[in-house]
Structure formats: C-alpha cells, structure tokens
Structure 1
Amino acid sequence: MRKLTIIGGGFAGLTAAITAAEAGTKVTLHESHRTLGGRARTADGPYRTNEGPHALYAGGPHWTWLKQRGLLGPLAPLPAAESLRFRFHRDGALRRVPPLGLLRQALRGAGQAPVDLDFRTWAGRLAGARTAATAAAYSGVALFHHDPGALSARFVQERLHRAASLPPEAHYLRGGWGELIDRMAARAWESGVRIETSSRVDTLPTGEGPVIVATALPAAARLLGDPSLTWESGRTVLVDLALRTRTGDPFVVSDLDAPGWVERFTAQDPSLAPAGQQLLQAQLPIGPDEGKADGVAHAERLLDLGFPGWRERTVWRRESVSQGRTGAVDRPGTTWRDRPAVDRGDGVYLVGDQVAAPGVLSEVSFTSAVEAVSLALRADRPGRRVRPGTGARAGRPDGLDLKRA
C-alpha cells in the first residue's frame, strides 16, 4: 500500500499510523485540534488531570505492543501503605474490606456469563440480589455506566473480573496519558508519518488510498454521512479536586450502593500536583434523566465520608460531564461483534472504542486500529479482493483470532 490517510490523532489514530508506517506505508494523519491525544490528553499546568482514570490493563494486547516499541514509559506504582487505604462505601458507612459475596462474584470468569441475559438477573440467581447489586456498582470503575446491572451479563462480568483481578491488571503511567501520546507522536514522526494538526477534515479524501476514520462515533457518522453509526455509551460526571495534603486520607473510596468512585491519583504519582497538595478525581455515572448537579452531589457525599475537611482544604476544583466518552456498552443479546463494523467498504475503515473489536476500554481502540491497517494492507495486495463488511465482525481470512490479538 502506497498511501494511507488517517483522520483523528488520538490513541487509535496514532496506533494505526505507527502500525501502517512500520509496514512501509506513506501515512498522513489529520487532527482537528492543535494538539494530539483526543480523550487521552493530559491537562497542562500544575494539575495534570485526564478525562477519567485512564488505566492501562496489563493483560491487554496494547501492553505488549507498547512495551516492544519502548512506548510504555515509566509506570506509577502504588506504595504498599497506600494499598491499605482502599475504602468501600456501603449502607452509609465506609468499610475496609469488601463483602465476601463481591469477592466471590469477581472471581467468576466471563465465559460463565450468558450474553442474552442482563447481569442483575444472572448474578442474582447465583449469589442473591444484594450481591448482584453490589457487584454491578463496583463494576462501574470499568464501565462508567449508571446501571451496569441492566447490561449484558457477559459484558459486565468480563470487566468486573479484570477490574478486581489480583495482582491488579490496572496500571497508571507516570505523568498521565499525555506522556504516552507524546511518545507515540515522536515514534510516528520517526517512522515517517506526516502529522497535520489544526487540520479539520469535513469530507473524505478521494484518490489518495484507503482512509481510516479515528474520531468519536458521532463525528464519524457526520463525516461518513451515515446516521446508523451509533452505539450506546455512558454519561459520567468528573469532579477534579486539589486538596492540601492530610495524612490518613484514603487512596480510593468505592461506592457499592451505586456506581461511583473517588481516587487520589497523587497516591501513586505525586508529580500530578504541586508539593503539599494531592489530586483527586471522582467519577460518577449519571442516567439519562440526571444532570451534572446529581453527579456532583454524589461525589460530595463520598468526599464527606472519606476526606474530612475537604472543603476547607480545596485549593482548586473543576467539574465536567463526559458525554458518550466512556466506550461502548453492550445490552443483553449483543456483543462487540454487533457494533459498527471496522470495514465500511470502498477503502474506508472505522476505529475507536465503540466499534466491532474486542477488549476493555482503550483495548478496543487499539485492536480496531491494528485490524483496520491489516484489512487495508490485504485489500491493497494485487489481485486480492476483500468484500465490504469483513473484518472484526465477520472473521479474518488470515487466521488471526481477534479475541486473542
């Protein structure tokens, strides 16, 4: 393949750009903003916040890919003392250990859960309604959805199992995901990728080879003129706080009565805030009839329980709503194969965290990006025809199983 155009310079777009360039392709990447990163940007200034926790799961396919290329960078390990400051909110009080039923449910493999039944019903039959509700609430850390119990049992159980795994799969990058994006951008430049920022693309380029659309799904629908490109996601209120440091503050407060989570990110990475201050982020999923004020009120209830005097200690605060930015969620009877296909036909490919590719959170973006490049390369082989709609949903003719990719 001689040329490839990529629209979108977030994690998925940069993954596709590096993968294609390593295969000898001439790549041009367009990013509408002044900086790369998409939702993986880390804020400049004294408080280095992300749009959400941005954990990197060590069991995912992108972990090895990043590590092999020297892109993983330094991690931010959690000190042993901080790991003991994990608190669980249940029935109006904070507890040091989770319910035994939650631990048992988290150990169940995702393969035991049905696709066509909701998690609340399936887990309730196995462990009782109370344990099912507790497990659903805890799974919100990897779902950012206001009602995980209503989603496919297989979908929720996979994320619950991985979020609660021991040793923990989730790792954080020192300095935030913006550091990873900078390393990926440098690798792309070194590989010959032409990167154009502040370059908005309103119509698909023609005559310049295949095109990979690596934008959010609503933007892709507008660009491709295809209103069918939709999939359910979640809405999450994010409350970022910088507090004056106080000895004894918890590392995490996890709400087991309703999906919600407060984490002190400077517990593992003090560089995210000035000396003497600690950076917190609360993530509170909200339903379709709720607004930012509902999520903020939920956050403040958890802060009142876990962080004494937090109002007087606050030196900086920011609130926002993450709309449709939590990745795809699957209702009962659906799996990742039912989401919008990667191959859109006519040399156009769609990547991101809401398309037909397996994985958890950013793993979906990574897997779809690698798949899109693979499809484009195969379609460009002389005498080789790949019918539209093949790829992640239809299976791969070269024998690569995406579930193991």
Structure 2
Amino acid sequence: MAFQCMRDSYMKEFVTSVVSCSPAELKLDSTNGKKEKVKGFNVILKDTILFPEGGGQPDDRGTIEDVEVLRVLRQGAEAVHFTSSALEEGREVQLKVDWKRRFDHMQQHSGQHLITALADAMFGYKTTSWELGRQRSSIELDTASVKPGEMEALEDTVNDRIRAHVPVNVRLLSIDDPDVEKVRSRGLPDDHAGPVRIVDIEGVDANMCCGTHVSNLSHLQVIKILGTEKGKKNKTNLIFIAGNRVLKYADECYNAEKSLTALLKTGPDEHIDAVDKLQKTVKRLQKSNLTILRDMAVLIAQNFKSQPEKDNFFSLHNKDGDNEFMNIIANEIGFQETVIFLTVGDPKGAGMFLLAGPENLITDLGPRVVEMLQGKGAGKNGRFQGKANSLAKRAEVEALLLEHSRKRTAGEE
C-alpha cells in the first residue's frame, strides 16, 4: 500500500478513520538508553501521513487526535501506530506529523540518494547500505578506500545539483511494469504489497524506495561530506549531513570556536597550536606530579617507621594517589607484622584500595573489605587490592581492621 505520506510527503495534517485498535506491548528506548517494555495500543488507520520505518529511514512521530504516537511499524500492507491511549474503532480522527523530524528525515534521505547516485556515476563506488543517524548519516561504499580529492569533487558536484533546482518526482508502478527493471534497487521486502514506488531525481537517478523525499533538490539547501572512515569487510563509510543539520553543525562549531577563543585567549587560527602547547604542559606536570607522589610515598612510610612507639596498624587516604603510590608505601613499611589500609580517589565516591598485612588476617578480612567498599578485588601473599565503587564506609573499614589488628597483637586471634 502507498500511504498518504508517500503520495504527499509535505502533508502535515490529515483526516482519516480508525480501522482497529488493540492492546499491545512494545520495547521502546528509555531515558537511560536501554529498551523497556511499554504497554499501549496498536492502531491501524484507513490511511496515514505518519511514515512507518523502511528504506533505511526511521519512522515518524506525531499525534492522532492529540494522542501521542510512540512508534509506527510496517506489517505487510499496513502501518501500525503504537499509541499511549486507545482510540475508538470507526471514529474519524485527525493526524498531525512532527514536521521538524519528518523534514529532517526527508533531507537526509534525499541527500543519500543524490550522493549514492553521483558516487557511482563519478567513481564507480556502489552503495551497499546506509544509516540515517540522529546527528549525522553514513553511506557504506563498496570500496576499501577513496582517492585524495574524490570526496571534495563529489561534494562540489552534489551541491551543484542542489543549486540547479533539480526536480524529484515520485512514480507508482505495478510490479509487472517494464520500467521497474530499469531502476536502481536492492530488491523488494518479502512482505511487499501494492504498487512499486520509484523516486526519480531528474537526470541523476531513479531508485526504488518507500521513504519520504523532497520534491526538489533545492529543498536540501546544502550537503556537507564530513569525511570517510574505514568500514567493515573492505568497505568505506562516507559521513554526511544535509539541510538544516548543516546549519546546526555550523552553529555548534561557531559556538565551540567562541568558547575556545575565550578559554585559550587566542584567535581561532591559533587554537590548534595553543591546545598542543597545553597538552605538552599537562604531560610535563603529570610526570612531575608522579615523581612527587612517589617521593611522598617514601617519606610517609619512613616517617611511620621512625616513630618510637608506632602502632601495628597504618591507614591513609590520598585523593590524588594511584596504585603505585599505595604499593610503594606498603613495600617501604613492610606488612609482615603491620596491617596497612590505603585508599586513593574520591573520598565520597569511587576509588582504589590496598589492604596488606599478615597473610591469614588479610585472607579473612579481604572479602569483607571489598563488600563494604562495594567493589572488586583479589589478593595473595598478604596483599589484597582492587577497585572500590564507594569509599563512603572507609571509616567503618578502618575501625574493623584496627579492631582485628589489636586483637592479634593481644594474642586473641
């Protein structure tokens, strides 16, 4: 079936009727990025302006009588609208499409057709697949690499066609029409029903496609090829944005440029050099900081050992330390007779720990310490260390270790 959205991709509102409505469940993306089962209703309409996903294009969003449409899926010849509320069967309803989302998809999809056709015509690079992403889109080209200057030439030619106001026409053909064999296609889906839809960019490309498209290349405004990346199985991924996404990208780049100018106190042409100098300075400071931390670890251990009446328990937290810092202290002090508890990182959040001491005591207490710190760890030969997801109970761990250490000294263990 050719839906109304395919006959007129620019229609923003439409009146139709409800054919059926039944309870359903669907897995939808949640705010944390995971799929969650949501209860709702599957609604089939007599016709629709809400595009069901297909041809590499995501589905539309919109409303049916102010009821939010959460997904639109294709099932054979039908478009199934998954809604949050039920709709009365037989009722006449008004549909509204999320036009901002729809027009963005039209620009990216038509842009893909144009790039694909010209990449093939100019360089013989066939398109094997494509993805319409939320921020940028990619076209998989059947080539292991592209030659220098080819993408620049492709971008120039693509935008020449846009400036030429080339019409984009949609034709509906019967499956047995001879013209069907003349157009570019990767084949029809197994559940295809109804006429075959041809998207024809005059003088450039004719392609079998079910998606929504602009009626003239001028509506694409502009296409920017951001670059290429190595793809799978000797393929190359061409990354691009079209239309309003280019304007948004330019705006984001300009705002980033202004922020960097304010932070670096240099003009845009000097940003790269300024950041390079900062990175080199940071590396020198990090190296110097590591040296100071190591020297500090040795001094801390020596200070403890020099105490005339030192305890057989030593505990320390250092926010900026690392594993080497803790190991130096433990090795310098020695843990055959002394229980050592060291932590580094955020005192109220995550970090690392090292527990060292008499082997039997550490073997017994290590798992309990890990549990209290909500972390993971392992150990042997009197040393137990690992990651702590929370150092909030550090004081409690310290108290536990101190208690067992004193009991051992008193001969109770």
Short-chain TM bin: under 0.3
Q: Which has the higher contact order (CA 8 A, sep 6+)?
A: 1
Look at both structures and tell me which one has the larger radius of gyration over its CA atoms: 2
Q: Name the one with the larger strand percent.
A: 2
